[in-house]
Chains A and B, each alone.
Chain A
């Protein structure tokens, strides 16, 4: 069931849409057919709550999201102007309350997004028929609800959502088939290792320390322990650590069929949305680049100018403790275009040490436009920043890095040095700002415990959340779960055995 039947755009808007589409095509943008629809704020919030999709499975968090959007709007805290979903055809929703200049801007912006979705490499593997897929998910979910009851399924969805970010966003595509490594039989260890008495010869008491010298016994014992450790290494499973924790759980966790299906749905949707997180700066930057190009050259009427300037500057606003992806994206794209137009790249330019000459450098190559199209095709936020952020750019845009000062619980400006800024930016972008976590061992201690590893990059986990998440993980794995991380600068294992939480500093091995 589709919530809104498609309503054709009113004449006024469809004229604008056709005009903007033509401009976008003239500039070489390339997009799937794009269907626009005008919605009031309530409808738009509803779509936004569902991630843009008219049909999703039922779950309270969509209601929570909607509630928040509606409240934010009624208190004047926030406003969504538009929303585009990555499908073929592309669907774009416009806010009916936008004035006509806003609509122009927004439509131009939308074409930027549509072009990006279609051409950026990171979206290449997304399902463009996701509307159908989402509806299928809803059907499957409803079937599970009919069989097992609303609350049972809801609770399980909550559990799965708690783990939804544990996917491998760099995997080229979702693995759907499994030629899985076989789960090893947990072997009973024949010999209990490590017991010092194991190798004792029978001896009379007073002779014992000659017949069974302590040093020898100790040496034998440690040899045995070593062997046991090797054996448990062989029992280690999976052989290589795995980034796609959800996939691992779907394959190996003791789940009922319907639970496995729910977890697969959560994972599918997480993969669908992942590239949007990976390309936020580029995608918004690209769309903003095109709305500003098209609007300033073609779209503006005299009376629209003020509204345009107001909206555009609102979108571009910066604040000290929050990086605006629209702003950074568009500025960096403009910078690239200019540099490639002037030939400010390559060994000759890089090797030049004269600041003044570098600034005046202009070979009139005119390669800028071509370059940014290439950039939008192959990069994600991380490679984008890594490749194109320059010291000059940081200086010009007054960028700085900041850090949390634990002593006074305040974020403070840390540095204005290029290398530091860049490193900090890359760190915060890595994995979309989320911790990177692997399955390290699913037979930890040879007891079938799950052992995850948090790849520590300088930022510690939020401890209470980590513990709550372990509880959810335990619900799925049903055996004790552990995660290795760093707490207070010390390697630490957080564990949960189904009843209690444990925090152990990791022994040095």
Chain B
């Protein structure tokens, strides 16, 4: 039975989540969530939802208390503790509410807020997985799957029909014929997989601020993609003049410095794809973040690599250029030349933290 209070409480939670949605941008740009990666739910502080009244403020307020102390002795701070507002102590203090949300819920909110389209995976039945579903009832089966209620009902019906039922002594004895068992069907479910490759420039010109922007954006992209696919595999590449494949944890923490050779990252990405993700079976996403300060002569090699190996097999190749105080920011100009030619190439310039929100929309707004 749904209790009255459950309904009111659910309504209340909805309202709170609405508040979170309103302030989503703030939560996303802050990057507070990233430290919590790995846990399924996050607690987000939301301001208490209050119905406003004409009520007294602090100015001129006071009250009566009991205890020791000299005149002039402080007995409590204003605002924060909320008590002692001269209301004879029968008003509650103020609380900050924490709302528990799962990352999926947040991803959905993000999707809604940015009006991201659901992704249409390619090769939708390329992979299938088999699942057992208990959907039917059969007259035979193992004891452990006996459907007690159905069995009981059949027995009861039979006893009433045969006039064997005595309400004063309501004993029900099922026979072999009465017994019913749960049974299962094996169903195939289309299972679409996505592989995501994150590349981050960690060369000397990328400061901590730039890297944090990259990580925040990568986190939200990841959260969204995870929502879209049954299974998602991720690979992480960091590079300066040379590229390394690293694990997720390193990607979110590493500090490096050195020159920049973007082509090294592309080679590594190509290598990973060849090794782990045959393009006919996988939806492949590449996200690359850099300040765009590449070695001049390396650009040619980059473009070649992209055109030959990467563009043809990717759902999306996204390049996010983070503005850096040191970098030249030239690389994006090279890629612009091909923007028309390859519609899976998406470019975005990320000026600061505030721009993350819009950049996510640029990348994921295509629905590919």
* Interface residues of A, Cβ cutoff 8 Å to B: 3, 46, 49-50, 55-56, 58-64, 66-68, 154, 158, 161-166, 277, 280-281, 318-325, 327, 381, 397-404, 406, 408-416, 421, 424-425, 427-429, 432-435, 437, 454, 458-466, 468-469, 472, 483, 488
Q: Is the CB of B88 within 8 A of A400?
A: no
Q: Is the CB of B64 within 8 A of A60?
A: no
Q: Is the CB of B63 within 8 A of A323?
A: yes
List 10 interface pairs A-B (beta carbons < 8 Å), by A numbering.
A64-B49, A154-B11, A277-B90, A280-B90, A400-B69, A404-B62, A409-B78, A424-B62, A435-B56, A460-B60
Q: Tell me whether B58 is interfacial, beta carbon within 8 Å.
A: yes
Question: Taking A321-B83, A322-B84, A460-B59 as contacts, is the C-beta distance between A165 and B78 under 8 angstroms?
Answer: no
Q: Is the CB of A399 within 8 A of B7?
A: no
Q: Is the CB of A166 within 8 A of B54?
A: yes
Q: Is the CB of A433 within 8 A of B91?
A: yes
Question: Taking A402-B84, A424-B63, A459-B86 as contacts, is the C-beta distance between A63 and B5 under 8 angstroms?
Answer: yes
Total of A-B residue pairs, C-beta within 8 Å: 228
CB distance from A375 to the nearest CB of B (A): 18
Q: How far is the CA of A432 from the CA of B62 in the complex (A)?
A: 14
For the complex with contacts A63-B8, A416-B71, 4 further pairs of A-B residues with Cβ separation under 8 Å are: A49-B5, A60-B11, A319-B65, A428-B87
Beta-carbon nearest neighbor of B73 in chain A: A413
Cβ 8 A contact of B65, one of A59, A322, A459: A322
Q: How far is the CA of A146 from the CA of B9 in the complex (A)?
A: 20
Question: Taking A322-B65, A459-B60 as contacts, is the C-beta distance between A410 and B74 under 8 angstroms?
Answer: yes
Q: How far is the CA of A337 from the CA of B128 in the complex (A)?
A: 84
Q: Is the CB of A461 within 8 A of B64?
A: no
Q: How far is the CA of A404 from the CA of B75 in the complex (A)?
A: 10
Cβ 8 A contact of B51, one of A158, A400, A402: A158
Q: How far is the CA of A163 from the CA of B55 in the complex (A)?
A: 11
Q: Tell me whether B27 is interfacial, beta carbon within 8 Å.
A: no
Q: How far is the CA of A381 from the CA of B87 in the complex (A)?
A: 12
Q: Is the CB of B4 within 8 A of A3?
A: yes
User: What are the residues of chain B within 8 A of A472 when measuring CB–CB?
Assistant: 52
Beta-carbon nearest neighbor of A165 in chain B: B53
Q: How far is the CA of A441 from the CA of B325 in the complex (A)?
A: 62
- Which of B61, B66, B90 has the most chain A CB within a 10 Å cutoff? B66
Q: How far is the CA of A226 from the CA of B95 in the complex (A)?
A: 53
Cβ 8 A contact of B64, one of A158, A381, A399: A399
Interface SS of chain B: helix, strand, loop or mixed? loop
Q: Is the CB of A320 within 8 A of B57?
A: no
Q: Tell me whether B72 is interfacial, beta carbon within 8 Å.
A: yes
Closest 5 CB pairs of A and B: A321-B84, A433-B87, A63-B8, A63-B9, A403-B62
Q: Is the CB of A413 within 8 A of B8?
A: no
Q: Is the CB of B76 within 8 A of A410?
A: yes
Q: Is the CB of A400 within 8 A of B58?
A: no
Question: Taking A58-B11, A435-B55, A461-B55 as contacts, is the C-beta distance between A414 and B89 under 8 angstroms?
Answer: no
Question: Taking A46-B5, A409-B79, A410-B78 as contacts, is the C-beta distance between A428 and B64 under 8 angstroms?
Answer: yes
- Of residues 11 to 56 in B, which have CB atoms within 8 Å of A's CB atoms? 11-13, 15, 49, 51-56
Beta-carbon nearest neighbor of B59 in chain A: A460
Cβ 8 A contact of B62, one of A166, A277, A318, A402: A402
* Interface residues of B, Cβ cutoff 8 Å to A: 3-5, 7-13, 15, 49, 51-79, 81, 83-91, 95
User: What are the residues of chain B within 8 A of A163 when measuring CB–CB?
Assistant: 53
Q: How far is the CA of A3 from the CA of B51 in the complex (A)?
A: 27
Q: Is the CB of A63 within 8 A of B12?
A: yes
Q: Is the CB of A162 within 8 A of B51?
A: yes
Q: Is the CB of A469 within 8 A of B75?
A: no
CB distance from A263 to the nearest CB of B (A): 14
User: What are the residues of chain A within 8 A of B15 when measuring CB–CB?
Assistant: 60
Beta-carbon nearest neighbor of B16 in chain A: A64
Q: Is the CB of B59 within 8 A of A162?
A: no
Beta-carbon nearest neighbor of B68 in chain A: A398
Q: Is the CB of B63 within 8 A of A459?
A: no
User: What are the residues of chain A within 8 A of B72 when measuring CB–CB?
Assistant: 412-413
Question: Taking A63-B8, A322-B65, A401-B64 as contacts, is the C-beta distance between A462 and B76 under 8 angstroms?
Answer: no
User: What are the residues of chain B within 8 A of A3 when measuring CB–CB?
Assistant: 3-4
Q: Is the CB of B88 within 8 A of A428?
A: yes
User: What are the residues of chain A within 8 A of B66 when measuring CB–CB?
Assistant: 318, 320, 323-324, 327, 397-400
CB distance from A46 to the nearest CB of B (A): 5
Q: Is the CB of B61 within 8 A of A437?
A: no
Q: Is the CB of A280 within 8 A of B88?
A: yes
CB distance from A49 to the nearest CB of B (A): 6
Q: Is the CB of B55 within 8 A of A411?
A: no
CB distance from B187 to the nearest CB of A (A): 37
Q: How far is the CA of A61 from the CA of B7 in the complex (A)?
A: 11
Cβ 8 A contact of A319, one of B12, B62, B67, B77: B67
Question: Taking A59-B8, A410-B74 as contacts, is the C-beta distance between A468 and B67 under 8 angstroms?
Answer: no
User: What are the residues of chain B within 8 A of A324 when measuring CB–CB?
Assistant: 66, 89
Q: Is the CB of B59 within 8 A of A466?
A: no
Question: Taking A320-B75, A321-B83, A412-B74 as contacts, is the C-beta distance between A402 and B65 under 8 angstroms?
Answer: yes
User: What are the residues of chain B within 8 A of A412 when measuring CB–CB?
Assistant: 72-75
Question: Taking A402-B64, A415-B71, A428-B88 as contacts, is the C-beta distance between A461 and B54 under 8 angstroms?
Answer: yes
Q: Is the CB of A462 within 8 A of B55?
A: yes
Question: Taking A322-B84, A434-B56, A465-B55 as contacts, is the C-beta distance between A421 and B64 under 8 angstroms?
Answer: yes
Q: How far is the CA of A404 from the CA of B88 in the complex (A)?
A: 15
Q: Is the CB of A433 within 8 A of B78?
A: no
Q: Is the CB of B11 within 8 A of A63?
A: yes
Q: Is the CB of A318 within 8 A of B67?
A: yes
Beta-carbon nearest neighbor of B66 in chain A: A318
Q: Is the CB of B8 within 8 A of A323?
A: no
Q: How far is the CA of A322 from the CA of B63 in the complex (A)?
A: 8
Q: Is the CB of A68 within 8 A of B75?
A: no
Q: Is the CB of A411 within 8 A of B54?
A: no
Q: Is the CB of A425 within 8 A of B5?
A: no
Q: Is the CB of A459 within 8 A of B57?
A: yes
Q: How far is the CA of A43 from the CA of B255 in the complex (A)?
A: 54
User: What are the residues of chain A within 8 A of B60 when measuring CB–CB?
Assistant: 403-404, 458-460
CB distance from A205 to the nearest CB of B (A): 57
Q: How far is the CA of A469 from the CA of B4 in the complex (A)?
A: 29
Q: Is the CB of B53 within 8 A of A409?
A: no
Q: Is the CB of B59 within 8 A of A406?
A: yes
Beta-carbon nearest neighbor of A78 in chain B: B92
Q: How far is the CA of A55 from the CA of B77 in the complex (A)?
A: 40
Q: Is the CB of B65 within 8 A of A323?
A: yes
User: What are the residues of chain A within 8 A of B95 when measuring CB–CB?
Assistant: 68
User: What are the residues of chain B within 8 A of A414 when measuring CB–CB?
Assistant: 62, 71
Q: How far is the CA of A433 from the CA of B87 in the complex (A)?
A: 5
